[in-house]
Chains A and B, each alone.
Chain A
C-alpha cells in the first residue's frame, strides 16, 4: 500500500518526523484534525492548524481535551471525512474509551501517538516505547485494531499515508506509534507527488437507502459506509448492534457482529503486516526492533557483519496484528533473537509468544529516557 509508483515531481526537504507526519496526512487526504497540545507531538497539530484552513475543505479544531479530540474526529469520520488526531501518552490514555467506540462503529481514523517517557507525566521530552501494549489493548472489551510504527522521518510520512489507507480500507481506527526521537529528528526526505501515491477511500453504499444494511457482512467483511447527511439515515451506536446498526443482545447476532470485527482485520493479515528484513536470509543472530531503536539496530547489524557475525534485522512497521510469520522464520533458524526496546519488554512478549521455545529470546531494555545506542545492541549481539 501507498507505494510510490513512479518518480515524478518529487520534492526534497529537510524535515522533522512530526512535519513528515502532517505532510503524509495531507497527501493521504486528511481533511479534519481535532487535537489538544502535548509534547512531543504538538508540531503535528500546529502544522495542521496552518495548512487545513487554507485548503479546499480542511477543518482544524483545537478541542478542550483528548477525549473531545477523539469524539470530534469520530464525528467527522462519520460525516465522511478522513480525520486524525495526534497526541502523546497522557492524551492517549484519555482517548481509550473513544478508540473502543471507533472500533465498535467502525469509524476510519488515524491516531498518532508520539511516545514519551511514562507512566503519568513521566519524561515529557524524552523518547520511550512504553505505549505499545496500550495501543493494542488500551480500550476495554475484546477488539481488533491496527498499530503501525515508523523509524525514520521518511517513514513517518509514508506510514501516515499507509495508516490512512488501512483505516479507510478496513474501516478501523489505526494507531501510528512513533517515539520522541523519530518525531524530532531532522533529516532529508522526499515528498512524493500526490498523484504518484495510491490513496484509498472508504467504500460508500451502491444500493438505495431502503436496501442498505450498514453493518451487513460484505466483501472483505468491511461494510460500505454512508456519510451522515447522504440520505441513508442510519443509527450509529456503541452498543453491540445488528446488521441494521440497531442495538441487540441476541447471542447469534452479537457473535456475528463481534467475529466480523476480528475477521475483517485478521483475514488480510498479509496485506496489513509490514516488515523490513535486512540481512535476514543467512542470519544466525537476529534483532527484532521498531521505531528509532531499529535505526540503532541497523547500524549494529552492519558492524556485526563487519566483524564476521551473521546478524540480521527485522524492522516491524506493523506492530499489530503482530508479524508472526516473519518473526517465526527467524526464531526457527537463529541462535538467538534480540529484542531491544525503550520499555521493560512489550514487543518482546509477542516475540516470546511466537518463539514458543524455538530459540533463545533476549531482551535489551532501557527506560531512562535515553535512546538505545548501536554499541549497546552490538554488544548484545556479539
Chain B
C-alpha cells in the first residue's frame, strides 16, 4: 500500500467529528497533519500524503477521508459534512 506517488490525494478532515486525539497526526508517515489551534486535525502538507491510508483506518471518529485529488473539488465524502440531525441518543 505504501509509497504511492505523492501529491495525488486529497486529505479531508471533518472538523465537527474530529475530537483532536492526535492519532492521525502522530502516526502519519509523511507528517501531513497537525492539530490546529482549535484542537482539530488539519492537513498542512497535503502534497506529502503517500496515500497509505493509516489515518483513515485509525481515526476513531471516522473524521478523515483520503480521496484522489481533483483540484478545486469539494470533499466527496463530506461535501457539507456527514448528515446528522443532532437527535439525542
Determine the distance from Cα of A247 to Cα of B87 in the docked complex, in whole angstroms.
Answer: 11
Total count of chain A residues near the partner, CB < 8 A = 5
Interface 0/1 of B66-89, CB less than 8 Å to A: 000000000000000000000111
Indicate whether A248 reaches chain B with its CB closer than 8 angstroms. yes
Number of A-B contacts (CB under 8 A): 8
Task: Please list 8 pairs of residues, one from A and one from B, whose beta carbons are closer than 8 Å in the complex, sorted by A's number.
Answer: A246-B87, A246-B88, A246-B89, A247-B88, A247-B89, A248-B88, A249-B88, A250-B88
Which residues does chain A contribute within 8 Å of B89, judged by CB atoms? Answer: 246-247
Dominant secondary structure at the A interface: loop
Determine the distance from Cα of A185 to Cα of B87 in the docked complex, in whole angstroms.
Answer: 57
Determine the distance from Cα of A250 to Cα of B89 in the docked complex, in whole angstroms.
Answer: 10
Dominant secondary structure at the B interface: loop
Q: How far is the CB of B26 from chain A (nearest CB, A)?
A: 33
Residues of B within 8 A of A (CB): 87-89
Determine the distance from Cα of A249 to Cα of B87 in the docked complex, in whole angstroms.
Answer: 12
Determine the distance from Cα of A53 to Cα of B54 in the docked complex, in whole angstroms.
Answer: 50
Determine the distance from Cα of A249 to Cα of B89 in the docked complex, in whole angstroms.
Answer: 9
Determine the distance from Cα of A202 to Cα of B87 in the docked complex, in whole angstroms.
Answer: 30
Q: How far is the CB of A165 from chain B (nearest CB, A)?
A: 36
Q: How far is the CB of B24 from chain A (nearest CB, A)?
A: 30
Determine the distance from Cα of A246 to Cα of B89 in the docked complex, in whole angstroms.
Answer: 6
**Chain B: which residue is nearest A248 at the CB level?**
B88
Determine the distance from Cα of A56 to Cα of B88 in the docked complex, in whole angstroms.
Answer: 43
Determine the distance from Cα of A247 to Cα of B88 in the docked complex, in whole angstroms.
Answer: 8
Determine the distance from Cα of A247 to Cα of B89 in the docked complex, in whole angstroms.
Answer: 5
Q: How far is the CB of A243 from chain B (nearest CB, A)?
A: 12
Minimum-distance CB pairs A-B, first 8: A246-B89, A248-B88, A247-B89, A250-B88, A249-B88, A246-B87, A247-B88, A246-B88
- Segment 16-72 of A: residues with Cβ below 8 Å from B: none
**Chain A: which residue is nearest B88 at the CB level?**
A248
Determine the distance from Cα of A195 to Cα of B41 in the docked complex, in whole angstroms.
Answer: 68
Extra contacts besides A246-B87, A246-B89, A249-B88 (5): CB < 8 Å: A246-B88, A247-B88, A247-B89, A248-B88, A250-B88
Determine the distance from Cα of A277 to Cα of B87 in the docked complex, in whole angstroms.
Answer: 53
Determine the distance from Cα of A250 to Cα of B87 in the docked complex, in whole angstroms.
Answer: 11
Which residues does chain A contribute within 8 Å of B88, judged by CB atoms? Answer: 246-250
Q: How far is the CB of B84 from chain A (nearest CB, A)?
A: 14
Which residues does chain B contribute within 8 Å of A249, judged by CB atoms? Answer: 88
Which residues does chain B contribute within 8 Å of A248, judged by CB atoms? Answer: 88
Q: How far is the CB of A248 from chain B (nearest CB, A)?
A: 6
**Chain B: which residue is nearest A249 at the CB level?**
B88
**Chain A: which residue is nearest B87 at the CB level?**
A246
**Chain B: which residue is nearest A235 at the CB level?**
B89
Interface 0/1 of A221-253, CB less than 8 Å to B: 000000000000000000000000011111000
Q: How far is the CB of B23 from chain A (nearest CB, A)?
A: 28
Q: How far is the CB of B36 from chain A (nearest CB, A)?
A: 32
Q: How far is the CB of A324 from chain B (nearest CB, A)?
A: 39
- Segment 329-346 of A: residues with Cβ below 8 Å from B: none
Q: How far is the CB of B83 from chain A (nearest CB, A)?
A: 15
Which residues does chain A contribute within 8 Å of B87, judged by CB atoms? Answer: 246
Interface 0/1 of A246-269, CB less than 8 Å to B: 111110000000000000000000
